[in-house]
Amino acid sequence: MCATAHRLHKHGTSLPASAGLLQTMNEQGRKRIAWHYLAADEAAARLEASFNDGLAESEVLSRRAIHGENRITPKPGKGPLQRFALQFVQPLILVLLAAGVVTAALGEWVDSGVILGVTLINALIGFIQEGRAESALATLAQSVPSEVTVLRGGCKQRLASTALVPGDVVLLAAGDKVPADLRLFRAKDLQAIESALTGESAAVAKHGETLPEDTLLADRGNMAYAGTVMISGQGAGVVVDTGDRTETGRISRLIAEAPDLTTPLTCRMAAFSNWLLIAIGVLAALTFAVGLWRGESAFAMFMAAVALAVGAIPEGLPAAMTITLAIGVSRMARRRAIIRKLPAVETLGSTTVICSDKTGTLTENQMTVREIHTGGKRTVVSGSGYSPNGKVGEGETIAGALRECLLAGALCNDAGLNRVNRHWEVVGDPTEGALLVVARKAGLDERTLQRLFPRLDEIPFDSARQYMATLHEIEGQRMAYYKGAFEQLLPRSQSMLDANGQSVPVRRVEIEVAARAMAAQGLRVLAIARLAADPALTLEAMGADSGLQFVGLVGMIDPPRPKAIAAVRTCHAAGITVKMITGDHAVTALSIARQIGIARAGETALNGRELAALDDEGLRGVVRSVNVFARVEPEQKLRLVRALQANGEVVAMTGDGVNDAPALKQAHIGIAMGLGGTEVAKDAADMVLTDDDFASIEAAIEEGRGVFDNLVKFITWTLPTNFGEGLVIVAAIVAGATLPITPLQILWINMTTAVFLGLMLAFEPIEHNVMRRPPRPPGAPILDTGLVWRIVLVSVLLLAGSFGLFLRELAQGESLAEARTVAVNVFVVVEAMYLFNCRSLTRTALGIGLFSNPAVWYGVLTMAVLQALLTYVPLMNRLFATAPIGLHQWLEILAVGVLAYVVVGIDKQWRARH
């Protein structure tokens, strides 16, 4: 059970319960309360809130019923009609619309009707697919919940920020995004960036003092507004407004921005399509002119030009790429990597270096204190996990330096330890949680200690400073406790406590040897020190530069994540280097790095101080060979990313703190931790791991490579159709023959096969060897020469097959409609067979498992039905100028399909060998 302290009701202005609160809140709608003008406890009294305990759960429920969830109602984005209309603003659709209008003007009503109908269907399909891709991405964006630390019923809890109600007491720390409008009542070095609200990008200091009524919003230092970000310090505030009633909610409701679906690759493809459009436009005009010159009718030549344009433009390409990327994004989400920026999906596949934090990403972040070194004596701690069952030492009394060490660890601590369903949970930093657990094992309950010796002042933990301090009054004397990296505290210590608790001169060498021995076992080492304080001074004024009294060392295990070991091995096989960049001590870091396989025996680590001494050139040289960087300050991560990038690497970098944000932004792929990361880091990242596990980065890279493969497969599959159709038309004109396929038939082929054949490649599972190849060079062309030749080969096969059979049918005296039906079916059958070739660009369909992508089979079966309808249903015959064909024609068509399949198969084999 959590401790409950007295409730804050000293004003006697006991306000009505929930109903009254509602009334107060309703009044706010007309006249808002100037919370900054009220004293903090007055504000709390108005909200019936207690600074010490927060709200009771029952009270939360009734307030939620009144105020609803703490979320801002999104402004509607583009309406469906507008989005549908935008589908028509595409070059190909405009060509089609023009063609429809011209054919109508020429009185060709059927053709015109079909062209316009197809345009409509095309827009509809685009609309649905884009909508699906967008909503998939939008749901993902919301699946990284924003969490806050709240005090409820006297307990610290981590909750989704949507669960807040007015009156909740929220604890703020550096890196938090403010979840609702808060009246601050405590602030220690608290600084916020409020640009989201005020446009001002400089940090503003926050405090708990009362301000004049007319203070402008931007100057209200005692308020923290929803959507702003805390960049340093600690503080606490009471929620005054939630959801739409917050300043952000009122001033500008968040616009439900559609996620950006463009990536460098889709841009490149769109540019390619546009370039092709111009080339084809010129070719179509030439065709038209040549035809006229040869005496063909203007209408026939117009239709040929339209056929050329419709056939040769790869209109489905950008949409298919977006969908393939979106499918990749949802696959990654299933493997616990949430993509926040779509281009990351592509870049992941090219990643050459992953820079990972140690604690929590490569290790479990489940700290358990194993040993304590105090007064020259080593004490072993038993028990595992966060359960306080276990012993400190072998039954000896806990006294002297050992007791002081445990006491300091519990007091200089912001974590909470709760028992939930017979299970012990730490709220806050696991390093601090472990200190609470070990204190309880020795019979010291942190809640009692914190009540007996309340905190008078604090210096919050900061990765750059590497220690934290708190001030307490103990038996009439002020005492400051420090805990942090031993390199920070030991040099500042002049004396130490011996085993009996007596002050003696500090024995540095002995302590250093003990610390290194712990670190060499992979233990995380924390030092504890204290300072008898002058009652008149604050912690900051006292400084911690010297004069500390060393109390002890605490060594805790943080085992490597089992999955990380395998993931590092896979990365190495995939040509990806893994580097550990940690704030921890070099010896601990190296020990863990060796266990995980990041460092080999004999390898050394570079620490932050050595790193600082290197110039950029020197650093570029060092980052080539060093894999473990220890005691690195967050700011140095940025230099490391830059040095790696200067060496031509594609860098993925993890981070969780506020100061990591610049490095996350600079890296090609910034990766934030979903569980342990700050909101600031998540905002800066391209990808968020929902389980903080290194293995999820490896999984995302694997998926990224798979997505890229599938894109290349789609392009390799789709281009021959366009080129083949273009070639058929040009060849027919050059040869002076009738068009083997009409524009409508080309439309039919492109529309149906892109949706039912090509798109199925997006569902292709990842190939088995995807993580055994080196990373794709980022600037490399999408198609290598081998694939370009394959595209040419299949285009020529399509030309020869369809034109050849078309001429043969005519020569055998079949009708034009039958000959054209054969030509159309050649295209579809060759594409279907070629689809199996494209499932892997190097291996045979049998080699990858004929049924490993069922979507392909469903697609092929659907196409078979559609072709049967096109060939045999009279209405379709009339609309598309087709005619029923016989068995022997089908056999010929199939023979062409099989031939194409075999030729491509031989090409694959030949290339695999050379």
CA-derived radius of gyration, the chain: 35
Q: What are the φ/ψ torsions at residue 483 (nearest 5 degrees)?
A: -140, 140
**Total residues in contact with ligand ATP, by rule CB under 6 A:** 18
In the complex, least distance from residue 403 CB atom to ligand ATP, rounded to whole angstroms: 20
Binding window for ligand ATP (CB under 6 A); candidates: 200-208, 460-468, 565-573, 735-743: 460-468
Q: What do you get for the CA distance between the two ends of the chain, in Å?
A: 71
Closest CA to 457 of 476, 442, 477, 472: 472
Q: Which residues is 474 bridged to in the sheet?
A: 477
Q: What are the φ/ψ torsions at residue 729 (nearest 5 degrees)?
A: -65, -50
Residue 288 CA to residue 282 CA, distance in Å, equals 10
* 357 is an interface residue for ligand ATP by CB under 6 A: yes
Output 667 or 805, the one with its CB closest to ligand ATP.
Answer: 667
- In the window 473-502, what residues touch ligand ATP (CB under 6 A)? 483-485
Closest CA to 832 of 904, 912, 887: 904
Helices (H), 6-71: 18-30, 40-46, 57-67
* 591 is an interface residue for ligand ATP by CB under 6 A: no
Among 100, 208, 314, 583, binds ligand ATP (CB under 6 A): 583
Q: What are the φ/ψ torsions at residue 604 (nearest 5 degrees)?
A: -115, 165
Task: Judge whether 164 and 179 are in contact, CB under 8 Å.
Answer: yes
Among 215, 463, 607, 844, binds ligand ATP (CB under 6 A): 463
In the complex, least distance from residue 505 CB atom to ligand ATP, rounded to whole angstroms: 24
Task: Judge whether 151 and 137 are in contact, CB under 8 Å.
Answer: no
Quote the distance between the C-alpha of residue 789 and its chain's center. 37
Task: Judge whether 553 and 525 are in contact, CB under 8 Å.
Answer: yes
Output 520 or 898, the one with its CB closest to ligand ATP.
Answer: 520
Closest CA to 245 of 35, 45, 25: 25
Looking up tokens 């293995």 gives 695
Binding window for ligand ATP (CB under 6 A); candidates: 326-334, 459-467, 811-819, 857-865: 459-467
Residue of 53, 176, 357, 693 with catalytic role: 357
Q: CA torsion angle for 475, 480, 485, 488 (degrees, to 10)?
A: -130
Q: What are the φ/ψ torsions at residue 203 (nearest 5 degrees)?
A: -70, 140
- CA distances (Å), origin 221, targets 187, 193, 212, 248, 370: 10, 12, 11, 16, 44
Q: Which residues is 338 bridged to in the sheet?
A: 688
Residue 69 CA to residue 65 CA, distance in Å, equals 9
* 678 is an interface residue for ligand ATP by CB under 6 A: no
**Cα three-residue angle 755-757-758, rounded to 5 degrees:** 75
Residue 680 CA to residue 677 CA, distance in Å, equals 8
**DSSP type of residue 657:** S
* 466 is an interface residue for ligand ATP by CB under 6 A: yes
Output 328 or 433, the one with its CB closest to ligand ATP.
Answer: 433
In the complex, least distance from residue 269 CB atom to ligand ATP, rounded to whole angstroms: 39
Among 308, 459, 526, 900, binds ligand ATP (CB under 6 A): 526
Draw the binding track, 408-447, toward ligand ATP (x: CB under 6 A; -: no contact).
---------------------x-xx---------------
Among 185, 467, 803, 901, binds ligand ATP (CB under 6 A): 467
H or E stretch covering 337: strand 337-339
Output 303 or 611, the one with its CB closest to ligand ATP.
Answer: 611
In the complex, least distance from residue 408 CB atom to ligand ATP, rounded to whole angstroms: 11
Output 496 or 526, the one with its CB closest to ligand ATP.
Answer: 526
Binding window for ligand ATP (CB under 6 A); candidates: 41-49, 465-473, 786-794, 844-852: 465-473
In the complex, least distance from residue 483 CB atom to ligand ATP, rounded to whole angstroms: 5
Output 240 or 410, the one with its CB closest to ligand ATP.
Answer: 410
- Annotated active-site residue 357? The verdict is yes
Residue nearest to ligand ATP (CB): 583
In the complex, least distance from residue 462 CB atom to ligand ATP, rounded to whole angstroms: 9
* 359 is an interface residue for ligand ATP by CB under 6 A: yes
Output 429 or 814, the one with its CB closest to ligand ATP.
Answer: 429
Q: Look at phi and psi of residue 602 and say left if phi exceeds 0, alpha if psi is from -120 to 50, else beta.
A: left
- In the window 536-565, what residues touch ligand ATP (CB under 6 A)? none
Among 461, 481, 717, 827, binds ligand ATP (CB under 6 A): 461
Output 486 or 708, the one with its CB closest to ligand ATP.
Answer: 486
Binding window for ligand ATP (CB under 6 A); candidates: 238-246, 284-292, 489-497, 579-587: 579-587
Residue 615 CA to residue 862 CA, distance in Å, equals 63
* 721 is an interface residue for ligand ATP by CB under 6 A: no
Output 130 or 660, the one with its CB closest to ligand ATP.
Answer: 660
Chain contacts with ligand ATP (rule: CB under 6 A)? 357-359, 429, 431-432, 461, 463, 466-468, 483-485, 526, 582-584
Query: What are the catalytic residues?
Result: 357
